[in-house]
Amino acid sequence: MDRQTASATFPSAAAAVADARRFVRKVLADWGMEEAADDAVLATSELATNAIAYAGTSFEVSCRVEDGDIQVEVRDRHPTRGIEMPGVTASSGRGLPSIARLASSWGVSYDRRTKGVWFRLPRPGASNGAAPPGPFPDEAAEPGGPAPLRRAGDGGPALDGAPATGEGSPVRDGRSGRDGARTGSGPATKGREPRLGGDEIGEMPVAGDRLLRSPAAVEAMEDGVATVREALGAEGAAVLLTERDGRLIMGASAGTAAEIPLGELSVVALGPEARAGSPWVAHDTADPTAAALRARSLAAAPLESQGRLTGLVVAVSSASGRFEEADGARLGRLADEMSLSLEKARVGELERSWRGWLSFVAEASDLLAGTLDQERTMALVAQLVVPRLATWCAVYTVTDADAVKLAYVWHADENRADGLRELLDHAGAAPPMDVSAPWNGLATAPRDVRAAAGDTADDQAYAFPLIARGRRTGTIVIGRPSGDRFPRSAIELAEELSRRAALAVDNARLFSAQTAMSSALQRSLLPPGIPEIPGLEVAVVYEPAGEGSEVGGDFYDVFESGPQPGGPAPASRWRFAIGDVCGTGPEAAAVTGLARHALRILAAEDMSVPAVLTRLNRLILGEGERGRLLTLLHGEITARRRRDGVTIRLSSAGHPPPLVLDPDGGVREVASPQPLLGVFDGVDFHTDTVELRRGEVLLCVTDGVTERRSGGRLLGDGHGLEKLLAGCTGLSAGAVAARIQRAVRDFGPEPSNDDVALIVLRAS
């Protein structure tokens, strides 16, 4: 393999996405570029999924090093279908925006037969003097400043329990014992709030809802409060972080501030200095921040990023008038330095959370695409949600009658699962909705049911619609304990998962409906049963080649055709038929149904075997382009008066000739070849008569038996079937059928790609 280029082709199947990821990771590992593998694998996974979901064709993945960069391209074979853009034309996913956040550049290329989407990543270790790309490359960063940030809905959510890549991991308990400093804990996500201007709310942008929890952020805040105490000689210092709703929470604290609960403090309560982005000094507890920290004097300065308030850094004292204006100015300079450090840590968290978000979504997409069973899909959705995003999850589906049904319930605590299901059964059904929203259905359950459910009855819930292809298929409801509110990141990730889950559930629903319909139609094409024929053992074998099929191009039938003319009343005649329609699948099955039902109808009209073949030939020719070539062996069975066997009059229209096995092991062909059906009009068919005496066996097969392949050999080569039948001397009809069936299966290492049918008649 050339060290600079590598490519591989993958089929249009769900498992191919994982194979494509492994291919890209191995190529980059072979090239010594493992550092770029995570981003390349995630981006490849998105593009491969798009190729399967939207193009529906096989696809090629190629990797190469070009101009010092790594370029990966996923090329499918459907160039006329456009790229789906979320928010514009796409019904789900974040495909190409996700690529834009991972790659330094990307694009689409076309030729006459294929369409390719490519992306580039910088070679690991390459330095071009440019700042590393932030998680949102579509906004420009200020020179020398941190990477720009957008609203939380455009960023990747950082989640407890969500997969993550890169160095470091979120600090989950939120405490550190270093120098008595304390860091806050709880969800925090970046957002925008109105700015405060003058006496009105509406001007100050707030950075909200994303708590800095990485080791780098914790260390920066702890170092900051230590520096503030030392520089200002303060008794205590703290870093307060701004949440999305405008509340200020404790990020880190030291000294006397570490012992004080912050209480309720919001951006709205801050004074005019904070509104202007300037440091300030308070000499008494009239200042809201000083009152919240129980300080008699305070110096504070805002932490800002890109004009947005991300928090405050404060120094506190128990003495009135402790700080001067010069202390405020010094604290302002320290806050500017700390803002840069915290923003760098914030960008690092966003990078890791984006990778974790994409990794989780990619793996979830693979899992959801890997099954077409509706019940299993809904169970998988719930288990993906719990415990990553919520404590419990319920999946509601909409039936054909538009009734809402609780289909699946999953709780992180198995002991509470039954109580939760009982609670949801008695609660109001999840309402139809177009957008995600809080859900208060648990409150509608009867009091005794709520009491039996315990604390679960007070859980807060959030509902997400399942909408696919413009059709509502159900609702996902997730819940958390009361007081454990849903962070914005969890809601966004659940929304993304619900979009993908909706498609997966709808695909499974459609597949189940089509399978049920197909099975019903297929069963209608199979004979209802094999009649008992006096003096004759009958055994049949039927194996369609299509996966999940019950009928294909081969068919058989054995049925009673009426009393023997001029004979006593109990005597009857029977017909049998075995045929092979050219091709497999639904088209062949349609001709199968035509042939089998026509045979019964025409035989009931007391038409002779040759007349039945003539009429059926005309019917197939009358189908025009829908008609298929058909080989058919059709015969009539009559009992012999001395009951020492049966007489069979049969015609072989292009079908493999039937074989007769004598009791002494001899095998012979017993029908002359005639034209197959569906080719020529005006064909005159005739019958051959076989006197099947006691102990003799008549074997009729389709070419799925004689043409069973093993490498370059066929089972029928060199009189293979005759030799196989000769070894069945003395066996019953059922034993003969079973032996030939086993021989066909064992003849080649691969499953047969043709339908198999055989009829065994043994005179007894």
Given the structure tokens 């979320």, which residue do they identify?
86
pLDDT on residue 297: 92
Shared domain for 274 and 394, answered yes or no, is no
Instruction: Enumerate residues 6+ apart whose C-beta is below 8 A from 736.
Output: 539, 661, 697, 699, 725, 728, 760, 762
pLDDT on residue 54: 72
pLDDT exceeds cutoff 80 at 16: yes
Q: How would DSSP label each residue in 386-447?
A: TTTT-SEEEEEEE-TTS-EEEEEEEESSHHHHHHHHHHHHHSPPPPP-SS-EEE-GGGGS-H
Given the structure tokens 């921040």, which residue do they identify?
289
Range with lowest mean pLDDT among 47-61, 204-218, 354-368:
204-218
Q: Return d(Cα 473, Cα 506) in angstroms, integer.
A: 7
- CA-nearest of 491, 480, 489 to 413 is 480
CA distances from 283 to 263, 271, 493 (A): 21, 14, 45
Phi, psi (deg, nearest 5) at residue 529: 175, 170
Q: What is the largest CA-CA distance in the chain?
A: 128
Cα 335 to the chain's mean position, in Å?
47
pLDDT on residue 170: 29
pLDDT exceeds cutoff 70 at 741: yes
- CA-nearest of 651, 658, 666 to 723 is 666
pLDDT exceeds cutoff 90 at 575: yes
Q: What percentage of the chain reaches a pLDDT higher than 90? A: 26
Shared domain for 630 and 727, answered yes or no, is yes
User: For the sheet containing 756-763, what is the strand order?
Assistant: 536-543, 756-763, 697-701, 659-661, 667-669
Shared domain for 341 and 388, answered yes or no, is no
Average pLDDT of the residues in 124-146: 38
pLDDT on residue 317: 92
Most confident of the following: 70-84, 240-254, 517-531, 659-673: 659-673
Model confidence at 722, pLDDT cuts 50, 70, 90, reads very high
Q: Which residue, 348, 381, 400, sits at the end of a domain?
A: 348
pLDDT on residue 153: 31
CATH number of the domain to which 721 belongs: 3.60.40.10
Shared domain for 399 and 492, answered yes or no, is yes
Q: How would DSSP label each residue in 113-130?
A: S-EEEEEEEEPTT---SP
Half-sphere exposure (Cβ direction) of 761: Cα atoms closer than 13 Å: 32
* Residue 488 located in a structural domain: yes
CA dihedral 377, 383, 386, 387 (to 10 degrees): -150
Range with lowest mean pLDDT among 308-322, 451-465, 485-499:
485-499
Residues in the chain: 764
* Residue 51 located in a structural domain: yes
Residues 71 and 118 sit within 8 Å (Cβ to Cβ)? yes
Range with lowest mean pLDDT among 83-87, 305-309, 741-745:
83-87
Shared domain for 335 and 378, answered yes or no, is no
Q: Return d(Cα 477, Cα 161) in angstroms, integer.
A: 19
Most confident of the following: 134-138, 325-329, 465-469: 325-329
Residues 475 and 428 sit within 8 Å (Cβ to Cβ)? no
Average pLDDT of the residues in 471-500: 84
Range with lowest mean pLDDT among 148-152, 176-180, 499-503, 740-744:
148-152
pLDDT exceeds cutoff 60 at 729: yes
CATH number of the domain to which 283 belongs: 3.30.450.40
For the four alpha carbons of 605, 609, 613 and 614, in that order, the dihedral sign comes to negative
pLDDT on residue 552: 63
- What are the pLDDT digits (tens) for 408-439? 888 988 888 888 889 998 887 777 778 888 88
Shared domain for 289 and 320, answered yes or no, is yes
- CA-nearest of 489, 411, 483, 493 to 453 is 411
E-strand ranges in 20-159 read 59-66, 69-76, 105-110, 115-122
* Residue 642 located in a structural domain: yes
Phi, psi (deg, nearest 5) at residue 608: -70, 165
Given the structure tokens 């017993």, which residue do they identify?
670
pLDDT exceeds cutoff 70 at 88: no
Other CB atoms within a 10 A radius of the CB of residue 36 amount to 20
CA-based radius of gyration for the chain? 38
Average pLDDT of the residues in 470-474: 83
pLDDT exceeds cutoff 70 at 743: yes
Domain extent for 504? 371-518
* Residue 171 located in a structural domain: no
Shared domain for 588 and 509, answered yes or no, is no
* Residue 423 located in a structural domain: yes
* Residue 87 located in a structural domain: no
pLDDT on residue 98: 63
Give me the number of domains the chain comprises.
4
pLDDT exceeds cutoff 70 at 350: no
Q: Return d(Cα 595, Cα 612) in angstroms, integer.
A: 10
pLDDT exceeds cutoff 70 at 93: no
pLDDT exceeds cutoff 80 at 339: yes
pLDDT on residue 201: 26
- 206 has which bridge partners? 309
pLDDT on residue 281: 92
- What are the pLDDT digits (tens) for 491-537? 888 888 888 888 888 888 888 787 777 777 777 777 888 888 988 99
Shared domain for 587 and 732, answered yes or no, is yes
Average pLDDT of the residues in 21-43: 87
Shared domain for 415 and 513, answered yes or no, is yes
pLDDT on residue 159: 32
- Where b means 16+ CB within 10 Å and e means fewer, 216-243 reads bbbbbbbbbbbebbeebebbbbbbbbbb
Q: Is pTM, for the whole model, over 0.85?
A: no
pLDDT exceeds cutoff 70 at 372: yes
* Residue 15 located in a structural domain: yes
3-state helix, strand, coil in the chain (%, to 5): 35, 25, 40
For the four alpha carbons of 231, 237, 239 and 240, in that order, the dihedral sign comes to negative
Q: Which residue, 501, 518, 535, sits at the end of a domain?
A: 518
Q: Which residue has the higher pLDDT, 450 or 142?
A: 450
* Residue 472 located in a structural domain: yes
Shared domain for 486 and 551, answered yes or no, is no
Q: Which residue, 283, 314, 348, sits at the end of a domain?
A: 348
Shared domain for 506 and 536, answered yes or no, is no
What average pLDDT does the structure give for the chain?
78
Shared domain for 216 and 266, answered yes or no, is yes
Average pLDDT of the residues in 452-477: 88
